[in-house]
Structures are given as structure tokens and as C-alpha cells.
Amino acid sequence: MRKIEAEYEKLALVHIDLPQDVMWLEPPVVVQWQESRRLWTTNYVNDFKYNEDKLTVQFRTGILWPIGLATLRYSNLPYQGWDIKPDPNGSGVIVLVTGVSVTISWLCVGNYVKLRSITNATTPALKEHLNKKYTVKKMVQIMRLAACDVFPGSDAHAHVEGARKQPALERHTYHAMAFLSRAYNFQWSRWNVGAGSRNIVMQIREAVDKKRQGKFQLINVSTQRATLLKCTEVSTEYSAEPILGMQFHPDLFTFNMSYGSSDARRHTYNMKYKLVETVFELLQEVKLCSFS
């Protein structure tokens, strides 16, 4: 051990204060640029130390190449839960996502989205963007630059375990959820992961009456139909058996048209097109059903 420490003493000691405009959810990886091979390498980084309280890193190296800091892109995935509901204080829609490290809440209003809050953030990286209006694409760009990436790319399934859903089914379901987002409260279900790629399982309840809200029910949206299920979130095992007397509904939208209350249907008919597209675009970026 002393011999190793003596060898380390011959190397250059590098101390770095981590930038506060990045959210460090886990220890960063120190890399160096090797020009001859045209790649980033960790081969010459030794005796790495990370101070989580002070947000500093220290290491020793014998080669002073350009230094970079890397972090896992999808460290917040898979989601631990999510919730979509009407804004009780306005005409918007609240989308809340609980990741591995942080909980993020957005408010969709018209054709823009606001970042409402981030719980358990390690730095004030996104504080200046709270409650400011952005397009969904701009919001994605800002959060990715701050290393708070909850927007899975097309290759995310190669890096994160999830319940990959059939793309056409997922896209159509998100559009239906966006249409119904001012009339219903949607939540994640623990049964979704094991339901297969051609089924999306979530919890649903009407949210048009602020004083009296019903209990959540499980709904299974497949490539063929949408059905309320007999089993619940707290059942001992999952069953795709529908409730008695359930009629045929080809998707979530038509389910509301025949099964929802008159108030729920009215809220759906009164939905503004810009709000529908904003909620849909955000859901498409976050991909709640495939990564929870």
C-alpha cells in the first residue's frame, strides 16, 4: 500500500469544483481526450475521490491531456411513478414524474410548458428556469444540458430496463390521454411492466369534480381495445379480465365517449387544440408507458 501511495505522489494532483449549472445525481466519471486514438479514456485517471457535499472531484494523473466530466444520461430511469391530472388552480394540465433520483413536475398551458418543481435536486442548475414558459422542444433542450435527462431516445431500451410498448399503440394512447387530461387523473401501475408490448396498464379516475374524487381503477389499453379491469393496483396478482358488462371500446378516447360521465365528455369536447398537442408532445418525449 505504501509503495502504491509513493507512486501516486509522483503524479499530478488535479482538483476540480463541479459546475453548478449541471445536476450531479451521481459521481461523475473523469475522462481525458486521447488525440492519437480520437476518443475519451479513463486509463490514466488514478486515485479518484468525489466529495458529494462540496461537489468536488480530485484525482491523480501522469498525462495532462484535455479533461472532461461524464455522467450517465439515463440515471433517472426507469421511472418509479408518474401522475397526470388537471391543474386545480387553472386551465392547464400537471404532469409529474418520479425518477430514480429526482421528482419533476411540469405544467402544460396552451402551447407552452412550465417547469413547476424539481425535488431532491443536488444543485440549483434549473432554478432559473422554474415557472418560465417554453415550448416542449426547448424544455427538453434545457433539461438535457443540465444533465437532467428524462427524455428517452430511440436507443434508450439498450441502456435501461423498461416495458417497451408497441410504438403505434403508445403514440395513439398518449394522444388520447392528452385529449382526456382535463377530465381524468392518470397514474402509473405496477402491472404495466409485465403486461407485454401490446398492452398498456395504468390507473384512471375522473377528475372533473374537485370536491369529490372517485377511486382509481385499472384500465388496460391494448392494440385492439380499452377495458376496465376487475383487479386493482393492490391485488395479489394481475388479471386482464374486464369488469362485468364492459362494452367494446377500441381505444381510450372512445371509452370516455360512452363510459365517462356527461361532465367528463363535456370537458373533453371543450379541450383546446394547442393544449392537447402540448400534453401529447411532452408525453411523447417522456415516454411514461415504456419506462415505468
Q: Inform me whether the pLDDT recorded for 281 exceeds 80.
A: yes
Mean per-residue pLDDT of the chain: 91
Range of the domain at 47: 2-70
Alpha helix (H) residue ranges in the chain: 2-9, 136-145, 167-180, 252-259, 262-269, 273-286
Indicate the residue among 41, 70, 99 that finishes a domain: 70
Output the pLDDT for position 64: 87
Same domain, 167 and 237: yes
161 & 205 share domain: yes
* Residue 31 and residue 108 in one domain: no
Q: At residue 202, does pLDDT exceed 90?
A: yes
pLDDT beyond 80 at 146: yes
280 and 196 in one domain? yes
**Residue 238 placed within a domain:** yes
DSSP 291: -
State the pTM of this model: 0.91
Going by C-alpha positions, the residue among 11, 290, 29, 23 that lies closest to residue 152 is 290
Q: Is residue 42, in this structure, part of any structural domain at all?
A: yes
Say yes or no to pLDDT of 162 above 80: no
Q: Is residue 291 one of the residues assigned to a domain?
A: no
pLDDT score for 25: 86
Mean pLDDT of 27-44: 94
Q: For residue 110, which of 287, 282, 286 has the smallest C-alpha distance? A: 282
Per the omega criterion (within 30 degrees of 0), is the bond before 78 cis?
Answer: yes
Asked whether residue 91 falls in the same domain as residue 58, the answer is no
- 122 and 228 inside one domain: yes
Give the pLDDT of residue 1. Answer: 60
pLDDT for residue 229: 94
Taking the C-alpha atoms of residue 272 and residue 277, their distance in angstroms, rounded to an integer, is 9
Residues 166 and 266 occupy one common structural domain: yes
Q: Are residues 115 and 157 in the same domain?
A: yes
Amino acid 158: pLDDT: 84
Mean pLDDT of 82-106: 95
In angstroms, the CA 181 to CA 176 distance is: 8
Residue 75 lies in a domain: no
Q: Is residue 76 part of a domain?
A: no
Q: Is the pLDDT of residue 33 over 90?
A: yes
Report the number of distinct structural domains present in the chain.
Answer: 2
To which residue does cell 495532462 refer? Answer: 64
180 CA to centre of own chain: 20
Ranges 121-125, 245-249, 254-258, 277-281, most confident? 277-281
Is the same domain home to 64 and 99? no
Q: What is the pLDDT of residue 187?
A: 97
Q: Extract long-range pairs of 32-35: CB within 8 Å, 24+ residues apart.
A: 32/61, 32/63, 32/65, 32/66, 32/67, 32/68, 33/65, 33/66, 33/67, 33/68, 34/65, 35/65
Q: Which residue has the higher pLDDT, 140 or 156?
A: 140
Last residue of a domain, one of 70, 97, 114: 70
Task: Please indicate, yes or no, if residue 85 is contained in any of the structural domains.
Answer: yes
The predicted model gives 53-81 an average pLDDT of 91
Contact 259, 249 (CB under 8 A): yes
Q: Is 136 in the same domain as 254?
A: yes
Query: 212 and 191, same structural domain?
Result: yes
CA 292 – CA 284 distance, rounded (Å): 14
My answer on whether 103 and 64 are in the same domain is: no
Average pLDDT over residues 50-60: 92
**Position 44 pLDDT exceeds 70:** yes
| pLDDT reading at 72 higher than 90 | no
Whether residue 32 lies inside any domain: the answer is: yes
Q: Dihedral sign for Cα 173, 237, 75, 134, please.
A: positive
The mean pLDDT value for 58-80 works out to 91
Domain boundary residue among 70, 99, 119?
A: 70
pLDDT confidence tier of residue 157, bands split at 50, 70 and 90: confident
| Domain annotation covers residue 292 | no
**Is residue 263 pLDDT above 70, yes or no?**
yes
pLDDT in the model for residue 4: 66
pLDDT above 80 for 221: yes
pLDDT tens figures, 126-136: 999 999 999 99
In this prediction, residue 110 has a pLDDT band, given cuts at 50, 70 and 90, of very high
Burial status of residue 34 (CB atoms within 10 A of its CB: 0-12, 13-18, 19 or more): middle
